[in-house]
Amino acid sequence: MTLQKRVILIGNYHALAEIAVLLQKESFKVDVIERFDEALASARKDPPKAVIFILPTYWQNVTDFVEKIGNELPHTEFIYVGSLVEGADQAVLQAHNVKTFTLGPVPKEELARFITKLLW
């Protein structure tokens, strides 16, 4: 019997819903959390296999999130999926071993395959 790997999805609600379904089909337990403070509390309470940021909105600061919790969760992968990553943010994200993936004309199914391959 294989245990489900838990992941937390944070970010754009419309993108999250579709990707959550695709990851559930790949046997992940998916928690969709829109607010960063709720995601921090959830990750601290029950550390996930991964925290995945999907098209976070401009007021959601991914670098602050990763800096606050990255060292507390050494076995958790952090994945950033965005339309662009600013140079300064990219340096901070890389320093915390965040995997970045820039969306373009990539089908969501391909994104789900990428995440699955990375985490299994």
- CATH number, domain at 20? 3.40.50.2300
Please give the model's pTM, rounded to 2 decimal places. 0.82
Instruction: Please report, as a single letter, which amino acid is at residue 7.
Output: V
SS (H, E, C) 51-106: EEEECCCCCCCHHHHHHHHHHHCCCCEEEEEECCCCHHHHHHHHHCCCEEEECCCC
Domain housing 68:
5-119
Q: Total domain count for the chain? A: 1
Tens of each residue's pLDDT in the chain, 120 residues? 456 799 999 987 777 888 899 999 999 999 999 888 899 999 999 999 999 988 766 556 777 888 888 788 889 999 988 766 666 777 778 888 888 877 666 678 888 888 888 887
Helix, strand, coil abundance in the chain, percent, nearest 5: 45, 20, 30
Q: Do 32 and 64 touch, CB atoms closer than 8 A?
A: no
Which tokens hold the place of 20?
């959550």
